């Protein structure tokens, strides 16, 4: 009986952790599952790629949208915006608004690894799809922090 109890205790405390459901620095980013289909990262990464997660259900995301809007008006960088938005007409307006500044895709974050860290969130990845920077953002300074490792490429564009 004692061996069974010890085995149960050992199993309980030595069990392997469940697989992670979020992306962290060092991970290789997967392709992006969107409402319209899969977006292949290989087709969108040149030297780097910045991915911004925004939701219209998130009150703090409005500050992030303002920071992205201001920054993309004065800086050209390789940006994908993943937005969780319910209204198709609003989504189309959003796509039109960012035309020429960012590629915009509609997502349901519960169905993708990209939304699991929180909202609003930025990922910066290199050409090998490895996540180099990852953080929450609300202001331009936080956006700059994510962009900083890619500055040599951005300044070239």
Q: How many domains does the chain have?
A: 1
75 domain-assigned: yes
pLDDT in tens, the chain (157 residues): 456 666 665 555 555 555 556 789 999 999 999 999 999 999 999 899 999 999 988 888 888 999 999 999 988 899 999 999 999 999 999 999 999 999 999 998 776 677 667 789 999 999 999 999 999 999 989 999 999 999 998 865 5
The parent domain of residue 138 ranges over: 21-156
Q: Count the neighbouring beta carbons within 10 Å of the beta carbon of residue 123.
A: 24
14 domain-assigned: no
107 domain-assigned: yes
12 domain-assigned: no
CA atoms of 125 and 6, how far apart (whole Å): 45
16 domain-assigned: no
Helix (H) or strand (E) segment spanning residue 12: helix 2-14
The answer to whether the CB of 119 falls within 8 A of the CB of 55 is: yes
CATH code of the domain in which 118 resides: 3.40.30.10
- Prediction pTM value: 0.83
Rounded to 5°, angle at Cα 83 from 22 and 73 = 115
Q: Give the residue among 45, 58, 49, 37 at the shortest CA–CA distance from 112.
A: 37
58 domain-assigned: yes
């Amino acid at each position: 009986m004692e061996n069974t109890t010890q085995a149960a205790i050992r199993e309980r405390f030595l069990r392997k952790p469940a697989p992670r459901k979020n992306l962290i620095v060092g991970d290789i980013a997967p392709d992006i599952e969107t409402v319209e289909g899969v977006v292949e990262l290989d087709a969108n990464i040149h030297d780097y790629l910045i991915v911004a997660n925004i939701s219209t259900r998130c009150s703090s995301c409005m500050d992030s949208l303002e920071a992205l809007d201001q920054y993309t008006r004065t800086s050209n960088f390789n940006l994908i915006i993943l937005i969780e938005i319910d209204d198709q007409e609003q989504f189309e307006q959003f796509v039109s608004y960012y035309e020429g500044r960012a590629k915009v895709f509609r997502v349901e974050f519960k169905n993708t690894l990209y939304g699991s860290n929180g909202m609003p969130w930025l990922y910066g990845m290199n050409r090998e799809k490895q996540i180099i920077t990852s953080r929450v953002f609300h202001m331009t300074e936080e956006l700059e922090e994510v962009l900083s490792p890619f500055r040599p490429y951005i300044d070239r564009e």
